[in-house]
Structure 1
């Protein structure tokens, strides 16, 4: 076992990191001398060709949706900035829409990071910078003035700093078991309006279950359930509405007896014994391709509908795991299995993870991870937030990110010592976030012009859905 360093030495390591990366230098946005269209094209390679225009269409809606779908650009730019040298598995895509509520296996509603497609070892400050930039970009999109937006970013920085200092005093096990519940958030909410919103969100989450999805997404015939096609968002890979090419249409219930059955068995092997026993009480009913999110559009994503002996449903999402953009620009150890990377990172960063979280390798060597499609999952409706609620949301996100980093790294003491008690990091982070929002606006302009000129093709969900109407 590794030798445990004294608390004093660990604090010294954190302060020494200021020599490597002065806190004021975090205002720099990095290397932006690149072609955003070319990087996005590289990032789209290997995706379903017919869905890449939909990815670009969703990104073209606003500078914020563009930012959500272009994590590769910020990772490229950050690679040229100074870093603290304090590294561990980070989320890699910690923008404000990748936080939310979900149920733990014990049915407790918690708030946490909820997207780990880009998880990889990297500098902790990259996550903080992506979160801070997202508040500026979203705020500007909503028409908020720069004064309140600056307060949002400062709140993220101060909450992250203060929580990291708090967690630096936690014992190892206390920190490992720390969890941000909705009850805890309501108890610490700064305003009555915030408490009411949290209660309303909690009530909404209770209704977002497997059972509530069944009637909307499937139909029953002769005792068997089938998922309903709703292209381009949901379709059967080998059916008449498929958007997959001939070489890609492998995910159908007939093929399940072959390659998919083997992939599913491999997935079961990544679950604990009691979780395998649980899932073996369900029978597969149907498989469909489901398009999700913005940045994930075009990757292979499936939804499996299973039912138990009582006819109660279980929806599992199967998402393709590709190389992380963080690993591309901050290379460390080699990753053997991308699905395992996602699952391991999620289990490490989250306070509590999905009971069905696991990974596998599927047909054509594509790598996947499994999780429930919906289990009391709720996301913030940022566009409907006023400044007071946005400020509260910034605080909660800063809190949740600090908890994730403290747990995953075991380096809360070092990070807290690096940050100190003043405003140097917060001031630099605010300057960075506004500067990167300006860069994102420039990149978005290049992207929109490329779409309009036909250099790249962008199509909306409505445009693609019209292709299937009679």
Structure 2
């Protein structure tokens, strides 16, 4: 394990910080003398055993998929690098696929960070490095010509730098009011193709609701709605299609109603009174396990279906929260509840958070957080983006990250002073991102070899689904 590094909370001046850690030092890739497979095994410990091969099966698709699922490796490596000394709430898994659209409670469409499983106090530049490197890894994956990766990194850093300079001169209240809406994006984007994609996204979001999801995921049986098994992605923990072994403690406790009710009531206590009142108008129908994402595969994640008196649905997602990979390698205050850590970090960093975002403990003491499933959520379709559109997206991501950091920390001025106005930080980020993308490719080859040798087992969704076909 890498040695934990920390500094004070950043009270020293940014000019002093730059003298102690010059911006050029951010080109260092960190502590890469390690076994990436061992780190993945550490990160997979405690997950549903039969789903871990699916996690690896999704990661083996490409170096970019591997990068998405291996936040622990980069956190380990970054712990071996100098840091700016400005410690704030960070996302912790700030790759480009974790930026997306969603609706506010007022139904306005925003673009923002949308995954906070790894959020924790840390150096602000860790987020910027993970984001910048993700664009280089993605550019290579998409087979863009040489030089595109560097241009994307410069777009990210330049946008972050410019926006942070603006936030440094903005009152903290106005920063908290600031929202990057899709309508605002249409005004900011310069490429017609990028604006078309935003417009199509707005149209697509309108159909991504619980009501549209209900017939796709469930059936009406005997006067109630039951979620349809579709293993390995969706199954009932105690049902015939379960991927949870008989030895797992969940299986032994799956029929304990009292524990489930207690967990839901604890979740309700973390919501504002008006949210609790709103949820009282819904009746529970069914709960099932739902596999999500890449890095989260194997962690305990469920969907809970409720309907109101008009039979209109509400899907809640219940997602396990474990120790942040950032906290594993960067010393921070002790955490009493990992679900609360995720929720409070999300509320700090997002411009607006889900109406039903809260946390609870499961019947066996595991930590969870809860939110709506899918509600008008959009993910970037990077495979369909050419280099110019990807460049526009890079600039938008830099803007989103600057707003999130400025809002969460109230320290835009310190970050802005550290970055400065020149190209020094961008130059360092280009060197870091290119070198770290090389490292990701080397780690990916080690990972693939481990899967081929049998050290790790990797299975695709298709392969696992075939196990359940008659």
Q: Which TM-score applies when normalising by structure 2? A: 0.96
For structure 1, which runs of at least 5 residues remain unmatched after alignment? 1-9
Give the Cα–Cα distance (whole angstroms) in 1 for the partners of residues 390 and 224 of structure 2.
45
Kept after mapping to 1: 8 A contact 2:419/2:425: yes
Note the 1:8-407 alignment, pairs <5 A.
Answer: 13-248=13-248, 250=250, 255=255, 257-407=257-407
Give the Cα–Cα distance (whole angstroms) in 2 for the partners of residues 152 and 463 of structure 1.
36
Q: What are the Cα deviations for residues 23-58 of structure 1, in whole angstroms up to 9, with x where unaligned?
A: 001100001000011111011000000000000110
Kept after mapping to 2: 8 A contact 1:99/1:397: yes
Kept after mapping to 1: 8 A contact 2:48/2:298: yes
**RMSD between superposed Cα atoms in Å:** 1.5
Offset of 1:256 from its aligned partner?
Answer: 6.2
Q: Which runs of 4+ in 1 moved over 3 A?
A: 247-256
Sort the Cα spacing of 1:253 and 1:187 in 2 relative to 1 into closer, same or farther, 3 A: farther
Offset of 1:252 from its aligned partner?
Answer: 11
Look up the SS of the partner of 1:379 in the other structure.
Answer: coil
Kept after mapping to 2: 8 A contact 1:75/1:326: yes
Give the Cα–Cα distance (whole angstroms) in 1 for the partners of residues 119 and 309 of structure 2.
37
Give the total of aligned pairs: 461
Kept after mapping to 2: 8 A contact 1:153/1:394: yes
Kept after mapping to 1: 8 A contact 2:238/2:254: no
Kept after mapping to 1: 8 A contact 2:246/2:252: no
Give the Cα–Cα distance (whole angstroms) in 1 for the partners of residues 236 and 253 of structure 2.
9
For structure 2, which runs of at least 5 residues remain unmatched after alignment? 1-9
Kept after mapping to 2: 8 A contact 1:88/1:123: yes
Give the Cα–Cα distance (whole angstroms) in 1 for the partners of residues 376 and 388 of structure 2.
25
Offset of 1:12 from its aligned partner?
Answer: 8.1
Kept after mapping to 1: 8 A contact 2:79/2:330: yes
Note the 1:423-434 alignment, pairs <5 A.
Answer: 423-434=423-434
Offset of 1:11 from its aligned partner?
Answer: 11
Give the Cα–Cα distance (whole angstroms) in 1 for the partners of residues 326 and 254 of structure 2.
37
Offset of 1:20 from its aligned partner?
Answer: 2.3
Note the 1:415-426 alignment, pairs <5 A.
Answer: 415-426=415-426
Q: What are the Cα deviations for residues 172-226 of structure 1, in whole angstroms up to 9, with x where unaligned?
A: 1101111100011100111111111111111111110000100100000222000
Residue in 1 that maps onto 2:446: 446
Kept after mapping to 1: 8 A contact 2:244/2:251: no
Kept after mapping to 2: 8 A contact 1:92/1:126: yes
Look up the SS of the partner of 2:449 in the other structure.
Answer: helix
Q: What are the Cα deviations for residues 104-146 of structure 1, in whole angstroms up to 9, with x where unaligned?
A: 0110000000000000000000000000000000110000123
Give the Cα–Cα distance (whole angstroms) in 2 for the partners of residues 249 and 311 of structure 1.
34
Kept after mapping to 2: 8 A contact 1:342/1:369: yes
Kept after mapping to 1: 8 A contact 2:245/2:251: no
Offset of 1:253 from its aligned partner?
Answer: 11
Q: What are the Cα deviations for residues 425-447 of structure 1, in whole angstroms up to 9, with x where unaligned?
A: 00100110000000000000000
Give the Cα–Cα distance (whole angstroms) in 2 for the partners of residues 302 and 12 of structure 1.
44
Q: Which TM-score applies when normalising by structure 1? A: 0.96
Kept after mapping to 1: 8 A contact 2:165/2:412: yes
Look up the SS of the partner of 1:292 in the other structure.
Answer: coil
Kept after mapping to 2: 8 A contact 1:101/1:377: yes
Give the Cα–Cα distance (whole angstroms) in 1 for the partners of residues 427 and 256 of structure 2.
55
